[in-house]
Amino acid sequence: MIGSFQDLLGKAISSGPAVLAVAPLSEISVREALKARDLGLAAPLLVGDIERYRGLLKGSIRPEHLIGEEDPDLAVRKAAELLGTGRADILMQGDGAPRSFVGTLLHGNGGPLLKGPASYVSLFPLKKSSRLILLTDTLVHPSPTLEDKRRILENALFVASALEIPSPRVALLAAIEQVNPNIPSTLDAAVLSKMAERGQFGNAVAEGPLDIDCALSERAASRKGVRSPVTGNVDIYLLPDLESGYALSELLVFIGAMPMAGVLVSGLRPVLPLHPAVSGEMRIVQIALAVLVNAKRKHDEG
């Protein structure tokens, strides 16, 4: 099991380079792509205003890996098409607002550019226990349905598998730990919990509904009558909606001072939007995370 960002980076480097499409371009994103190349993480494929960055590139990338496109939205579309045709393994946003980038990919005028249900997984290190925890969905779904949550959970489990977590423990979060018909998130959590109990999520163990108190503390859960191997030992936190997921991830970063990396999973192909909670130094960790997710996808496809 990968227990730290340093372990993650080392494992990704040993997995070999993936083709990293970047669009639209910025000076920072070009430098990050070159750094990923120098570390052996990725082979950059740049899509955007290439002429603007000729001086920075200094002929270090082959011409066939440079695609000129001054319009940012068209650059994103071209890069997504490279992902769809298999010419690129990972798509990274280089510039612009994350909502606009994700919107172009999922709701563009020409239809969605990504295959499969999309959701964002935030990754945090727990230093005291040398573990990584996953929060989802923290970027895409404003009000996920039960079916959305099933797919969000499956995407998170795929990322957990790429991180070599053998039997992921999932906390299905809600406002309270009891099923209440007036609180839809508790009903969704109860259904997902039963699905997990019947093996519909492989070897994952899911418990819900759980409030934060029960999820974090086995003692608190026991006091409230909840007994589960998940409480106090969570690998994946499934949030009830985007409002709570986005807010919690930013609270952990900006108030809790926890570093965060993240990946958008869609059709098992990794995408890296610009997320305001991901610091500049964590961007290379994100690329490493995407490399591992891509390696897992290729392994499963045989």
Q: What is the pLDDT of residues 97-154, one digit of tens each?
A: 887 888 888 876 655 677 778 999 999 999 888 899 999 999 999 999 999 999 999 9
Residue 238: predicted pLDDT: 98
Residue 252: predicted pLDDT: 96
According to DSSP, the residues that pair with 169 across neighbouring strands are: 205
Residue 206: predicted pLDDT: 97
pTM of the model: 0.94
Any idea how long the chain is?
Answer: 302
Residue 71: predicted pLDDT: 92
pLDDT, averaged in runs of 10, over the chain (302 residues): 95 93 95 95 95 86 91 91 91 88 76 78 91 96 94 96 96 95 96 97 96 92 90 96 95 96 87 92 96 93 79
- Residue spans of the domains in the chain: they are 5-168+235-301
Class of the CATH domain delimited by 5-168+235-301: alpha beta
Residue 108: predicted pLDDT: 65
Residue 61: predicted pLDDT: 86
